Amino acid sequence: MSVVDLFAGVGGLSSGFVATGHALLFASDFDRAASATFTHNHPGVPFYLESIENLDPHFVMEELGLRKGELDVLVGGVPCQAFSMAGIRIRKESQGQLDERVYLFRHFLRFARALNPKVIVIENVPGILSMLNGAVIDEIKSSLETLGYEVSWKLVNAADHGAPQLRTRAIILANRLSKHNTFPTPEFSKDTYKTIREAFRNLPELNHEPRPLSGLTLERVKLLKQGENWTHLPEQLRTKSVHSGAYGRLRFDAPARTLTTRFDTPSVGYVTHPIEHRALTVREGARIQGFSDNFEFLGTRMQQYKQVGNAVSPYMSLAIAKSVNTMIDWES
C-alpha cells in the first residue's frame, strides 16, 4: 500500500502504516527540527521541508511517478493549535483575530483533489469538529463528498489502543471505494488501560536526560503526592494559573493525561514524575506516546519536547492503519 504524509512532523501518523509493511512514498512539513528527526529515522523517504502553501501536488506526483488515483492513502495531521481550546482562548485575547492556520486544511484538500487517493485520513484535536460553529468540518465533508468520497469521523482515545495516555483525537476518514468507513475497535478499557508504571520500565538512555527542578517550582513539587495538583498546595505557594492540572503529579497506577509540547514544565499540567521531583524526560514522553526506544529525536531539548507533544501517538496510528487495511482489502 502506498502512503503520502502531509504535515508529517516526525511521522507519528504514518508510523502505523509503516509498521504494517506499507510504503511511505513522501512526507512534508515546514518544521526544520521535526524534518531532521523524520529523515534521521526514515532514511530513504523523500521529505520536503516546505510550507504546504508553497508545495505543488502535481510536482510531487511527477517526482514520485504517480498518476491521479494511484495513491492508496493520503494522511495528514493538520496543525491543531488553531482548533484547540488554548488556541481559542488566545484568539479571544487577541480581539478575536482568526488564526490563519485554521485554513491550512484547504491545502490538504488541494492535494486530495490532485492525488485522488483511495482513502484519506485526517487527525486533529476534537475542537476541529466544532470550530467556527462547525463550518470547518462541514467544508471538509462537502469538499470531499464532491470528489466522490464517503466521509465520517469519530473521536478516538489512544488509551483504547494501548497508549498509557488519555489522548482523544478527532479522526476523519474518507474513501472512494463505495464502502463504509471503518474505525478502530477499542482493545483496552478503563479497567485495562496501560499505566505509567508499565511505560517507564527499563528506560533506555537515548533522549532520557532527567533534569531536577529548582527554586519555587521545586518547593511546590516536593509537597505534591501522586495524582495531586496545584490545588493541593498551601495558599502561599499556589499559582495564578487557571489550568486545572497545573503542577499535577502523575500516578504510577494510571495512564498519563494528554501530553502537550511543553511537558518539560510542571506548570502546564500533569507532567511531573510520580515520585521524582522533576518533569518528564523526552524519552518518557516518547514512551507515553508509543515511539520505539530506538527512535531518536534531534534538535534542541525544547524542540524535542515539541516534536513528541505534537506527534500523533503511534499506538493510535497503528490502530487506524489496521482499519484502513481492512477497507482497502475489501476492494480487492
* Ramachandran angles phi, psi of 245, nearest 5°: -100, 10
Give me the active site residues, please.
Answer: 80
Residue carrying C-alpha cell 510504503: 23
What is the C-alpha radius of gyration for the chain, rounded to an integer number of angstroms? Answer: 20
Closest CA to 6 of 45, 36, 40, 47: 47
Query: Domain locations in the chain?
Result: 2-188+313-331
The residues near 107 (Cβ < 8 Å, ≥ 6 apart) are: 52, 53, 55
pTM score of the predicted model: 0.92
Each residue's pLDDT tens digit, 248-306: 999 999 999 999 999 999 999 999 999 999 999 999 999 999 999 999 999 999 999 99
Check if CATH label 3.40.50.150 holds for domain 2-188+313-331. Answer: yes
Each residue's pLDDT tens digit, 63-112: 999 999 999 999 999 875 555 444 444 444 444 444 555 678 899 999 99
